Structure 1
Amino acid sequence: MSPRAAALLRRAGLGRGTAWAATELRRVDGAVRVAVGAGAVGLVIALVAIAATGPWSGGQRVAERSWAAGRDGAGRTGHTGDTAAGVPPSAPEVLAGLGPGPAPQTGSAVPLPTAQGLDNALSPLFDDPALGAVRTGVVLDAATGRQLYGHDADTPSAPASTTKIATAVAALQSLGADFRIPTTVVPGGAPGSIVLVGGGDPTLTAQPTPPGADPDSNPASLRDLADATARTLKERGWTNVRLSYDTSLYSGPLLRALDVGDNITPVTALMADEGRVDPNSTEAAPRVADPAGSAAQTFAGLLRDRGITVDGNVGPGTAPAGEEARIAEVDSMPLSALVERMLTNSDNDIAEALARQTAISLGKPVSFDGSAQAISQALGKLGLPLAGTTFHDGSGLDRDDRLTAQLLARLLFTAADPGHPQLRPVLSGLPIAGFTGTLSDRFRGSQETTASDAAGLVHAKTGTLTGVNTLAGTVVDADGRLLLFAFMASGTAHADTAVSALDRLASTVTNCGCR
């Protein structure tokens, strides 16, 4: 791999080193075939992004790499290079074709789209009435942060779930990517009593841990906690206990009045499987009314299965403060993995939990209001543009949240900054067009060529409330330039047409060099 190609990949924050990148590219069906010319650079970057980021499951990485590798440049406009005749080269040959020599200066590797070119391409699309009464947007260069296009970019608008980008940045900046959330069992205040203490892990599960599971990518399990608890209790000669549970880490209301339906469970420091009635359900699903009590009852049953008699009723309690060593503990996946899961799946429960962990780290009340204050404070420390913004939660379900397209794009730029490596999961967690999370059914198989042609090359967080549709993330344009964008629409009448209009905006950036 040439130094120039390596510099491109490093600058985009998408590679793990030149040897690794070349190896990954060679792994795709033995020889990756990509389009030739300037546009091929974008595909190479996209392929390495695909290989380097996650989370992944069910062969999605293979599917997406095959899709991106099979593209021949059709429908991508604005290329500056000529397409050579004959069979397209393998990926290593394309990389070599970027040329030897010293790494380029920041921003000089591939051409930038011009402001006029982007304005010509995007401004007519912003006239689409499907985008509602308030429509804002911005496009930035990922390498330099230079604004290339803006449409009322500093006008506050309802962000919906793109709020989760802000929550992710605030949590990672405040806590670090390796932070884990504990769930513990400690001795109670009375003899023979124990307390299950919720630490706020939203991914704690009552399901068994798969054999050989990686703790960095699998949830902590109540079953493992029960195993460790039963073992320690038996070592201490305890076979009969009274069990209570402590959720005092959080304060304030469990839900806002607007939080109805199946999009979120009551926000408590203890829950299992996000309080879903069916633990195997995904996305919006019925929730139990008392997730903490339900998790504690499940834990009591697991102890009984392991030979520990649980006497009496299992109810709320308070753990003694620092009197005895804990009996057992399980820790969540690292914060980096929690952020990826939250963004990919637009998980409201994880978002509210991470907002509260941020509040704890900054000494704010561990509530909706305190979490909102903490997010603003954390972003302010990073020097991000907060004028006109208002946070009321961490998930974006609150319709009174207000962010700007400028802030969303600057959050992504900060996450791409080599000076903030702890923020990289914000980029790696973005859903990928046509393949993962909330973009799995978008940008692919569309009747519009430009929309389907952007599959695999748009990585973006979606946002949807009634009358609100947003999209913010990264694209690789036709010349291989990595760009950041945020498009926001409020007062939309029909979600389907609004989503299509947003997808056209992102696809247009992807499919043109715009000069």
Structure 2
Amino acid sequence: MEQRRTWRLSAVSAVVGLVVAVASVFAAGPWDSGQRKAERARAAGSTATGGERHGGPSRAAPSASPVLAPLGTAAVAPSPDSGDDAVPRPTGAGLADALEPLLDDGALGRPRSVSVVDAATGRQVYGARADTQAVPASIIKLATGVAALSALGPDHRIRTTVVGPDGDGKAGDGDRIVLVGGGDPTLTAHPVKGADHPAGLRRLADRTAAALRKSGTESVRLGYDTSLYSGPDLHPIGPNENISPVTPLMIDEGRLDDSDHGPAPRSEDPAVDAARAFASMLRDRGIEVRGEPRPAKAGKSGKAAKGGKDGATALATVRSQPLSALVERMLTNSDNDIAEALARQTAIAAGEPASFDGAGRAVTARLRALRLPLSGARIADGSGLDRADHVSAALLAQVLVRAADPDHPELRPVLTGLPVAGFTGTLRGRYARDAVGRGVVRAKTGTLTGVNTLAGTVVDADGRLLVFAFMTNGTTDPQGAQRALDRMASALANCGCR
């Protein structure tokens, strides 16, 4: 009887959740300065104590709780444990009954690492080899996002700057100017409008040309500075359609087509391409650019390249969207270029070299500062493309717990950026036949050959906010493994699990 009641409750909730999810996706747009409009509006109506209300006479229970998940409002605060709005806690035995039959699916490889945590208490309610280290694939981006937000704050913006080589803001040394890469992979050569859109190379050309004309300069040589990063620029996987060479200066992520996410042909030298495009734009604006752009250093001290007080020395500057928006975009589309850029921004903030090794150390240090369980973990890159990454399901579940913690509002974009099952990002094409999970599960996906992972949030049938991390390596049927993980997430949504 209890199972039938739970099934009916979840079915009704899921249907309503679908409607609201569609509305919220279109209302919010893909990103709005890092905070979904629907989520922000709903959060404004929260109680002063920060506890999201899941019941009461004015609410349309039982569908209210699952509806909050696609809106992102469950991220405002975990489910309350006391008072009129108290939500029943799941039990380990109840979760075992729901998940363990699904863990026997032959499509899942070994090891199988599972952690389900109650967001309100931060305690693991169910685990299966939860502390076992496994290759995470792209769900490592959850750690990258939390580390970057913790180190820099959600309002941080990445600058791309044009300076003179002597650092005084004037075109010197034979009228040479230098385009300084600040590490923004979303710098675009396409036309952009509005302050909340990604930084535009055209806008930077407008400002640079205006500054040069104001100083009476009509002819320049152009250099470009990529000294912000160190170490190899090729990811260990080598040239690949999933990621460009990792350089602090690029346009449109080094893509050679009109795409803005997913695999694409990539530039072999994104910095050169960006500098050439910038030179062409200056010429279009009446500034003569003599010769080909060449590598250069920005000023004697290189302050502009290294994040110093470049505002006083810049001829012109554009800034990226806020870090909160970059994190959301990274997670929604599983964007590898943004992930590696954010890992390096974390390294710069920590005083580490902006390299794969330095970024790995910096991200690890930020997670340690958040008191996350790092024993045995190795973070080798920011994107999860490197199979040298090894983390546990317990660690990634606790990363999500920190993002849901009302004491860490700066981390909330990690939750609002999670794809919505059946609707957005890397989950758009999944859960098509799953009425329980569709529109309710929000999760980051991870896929490499032989690796399938899923980690995110779900509101269960009782209205309890749970976070989960499912990891399996050694799979031979990727589609089957993916379906198995999706069924596990849906089981959490369908479960009161008491």
CA apart distance, 1:353:
0.3
Matched, 1:343 2:331: yes
Distance 1:437 1:167, change over 3 A: same
Q: For residues 208 and 116 of structure 1, what CA distance do their matches in structure 2 show? A: 56
Q: What do the CA deviations read for 1:79-112 (whole angstroms, capped 9, x no partner)? A: xxxxxxxxxxxxxxxxxxxxxxxx8639972111
Q: Equivalences for 1:88-237 in 2 at 5 Å? A: 105=82, 109-189=86-166, 190-210=173-193, 213-215=194-196, 218-237=197-216
Deviation, structure 1 residue 124: 1.3
Give distance in 2, aligned partners of 1:18 and 1:249: 38
Which residue is 1:31 aligned to? none
Deviation at 1:499, TM superposition (A): 0.2
Rounded Cα–Cα distance in structure 1 between residues aligned with 2:103 and 2:239: 32
Q: Quote the offset at 1:147 in angstroms.
A: 1.3
- Distance in 1, matches of 2:479 and 2:237, equals 23
User: The residue matched to 1:488 in structure 2 has which SS?
Assistant: strand
- Inter-partner Cα distance in structure 1 for 2:477 and 2:222: 50
Instruction: Provide the rounded CA distance (Å) in 2 between the counterparts of 1:233 and 1:395.
Output: 39
Determine if contact 2:69/2:441 at 8 Å carries over to the other structure. no
Q: Structure 2: which amino acid aligns with 1:283?
A: G
Indicate conservation of the 8 Å contact 2:222/2:279, yes or no: yes
Q: Which amino acid aligns with 1:396?
A: G
Q: Percent identity between the aligned chains?
A: 57
Q: Does 1:299 align with 2:287?
A: no
C-alpha separation in 1, matches of 2:74 and 2:108: 34
Task: Provide closer, same or farther for how the CA distance between residues 390 and 107 of structure 1 changes in structure 2, counting only shifts above 3 A.
Answer: farther
Structure 2's unaligned 5+ residue stretches are 1-37, 48-57, 167-172, 303-311
**If the length of structure 1 is used for normalisation, what is the TM-score?**
0.80
SS in 2 for 1:471: strand
Q: Deviations over 1:245-302 (max 9, x none)?
A: 0000000001134233200000001000000001335310000111000000000000
Of 402, 414, 418, which aligns to 1:430? 418
Q: What pairs with 1:353-372 in structure 2 (closer than 5 Å)?
A: 353-372=341-360
Identify the residue that residue 71 of structure 1 maps to in structure 2.
Answer: none
Q: Does the C-alpha gap of structure 1 residues 494 and 276 become closer, same or farther in structure 2, counting only changes over 3 Å?
A: same
| CA–CA distance in structure 2, aligned partners of residues 114 and 41 of structure 1 | 22
* 1:392 partnered with 2:380: yes
Offset at 1:315? 1.4
In 1, Cα distance between equivalents of 2:337 and 2:381: 11
Whole-angstrom distance in 2 between the partners of 1:14 and 1:114: 29
CA contact (8 A) 1:107 1:143 kept: no
Q: How many residues align?
A: 434
User: What is the CA deviation profile of residues 54-73 of structure 1, one whole-angstrom value per residue up to 9, with x for unaligned ones?
Assistant: xxxxxxxxxxxxxxxxxxxx
**Residue 440 of structure 1 aligns with which residue?**
428
Q: Comparing 40-49 with 418-427, which one deviates more in the overlay?
A: 40-49
- 1:45–1:480 Cα contact (<8 Å) kept: no
Provide closer, same or farther for how the CA distance between residues 209 and 18 of structure 1 changes in structure 2, counting only shifts above 3 A. closer
Q: Within 5 A, what are the aligned runs for 1:61-80? A: none
Q: Deviations over 1:448-493 (max 9, x none)?
A: xxx3321111110000000000000000111111110000010000
Match of 1:475 in 2: 458
Q: Distance in 2 between matches of 1:457 and 1:183?
A: 39
Q: Which amino acid aligns with 1:121?
A: A
Q: Assess, with a 3 A threshold, how the Cα gap between structure 1 residues 143 and 407 changes in structure 2: closer, same or farther.
A: same
Maintained 8 Å contact 1:15/1:52:
no
The alpha-carbon distance between structure 1 residues 52 and 155, as it changes in their structure 2 partners (threshold 3 A), is closer
What is the distance in 2 between the residues matched to 1:47 and 1:265? 32
Q: CA deviation at 1:196?
A: 0.2
Cα distance in structure 1, aligned partners of 2:223 and 2:399: 41
- Give distance in 2, aligned partners of 1:462 and 1:258: 19
User: Structure 1 stretches of 5 or more lacking a match?
Assistant: 1-12, 23-33, 54-102
State how far apart, in whole Å, the 2-side matches of 1:378 and 1:152 are.
25
Q: Give distance in 2, aligned partners of 1:105 and 1:399.
A: 44
Question: Of 371, 374, 381, which residue of structure 1 is paired with 2:369?
Answer: 381
Q: In structure 2, give the amino acid aligned to 1:43.
A: P
Superposed CA offset, 1:10-55 (max 9, x none): xxx9665677479xxxxxxxxxxx9965x423234236437999xx
Aligned equivalents of 1:414 and 1:52: distance in 2? Answer: 10
Q: TM-score, normalised by structure 2?
A: 0.83
CA separation in 2, counterparts of 1:262 and 1:18? 39
2:296 to 287, 311, 317: 317
Q: C-alpha offsets along residues 390-429 of structure 1, whole Å, 9 cap, x if unaligned?
A: 0110100001100100000000000111111110100011
Code of the residue aligned with 1:125 in structure 2: it is L
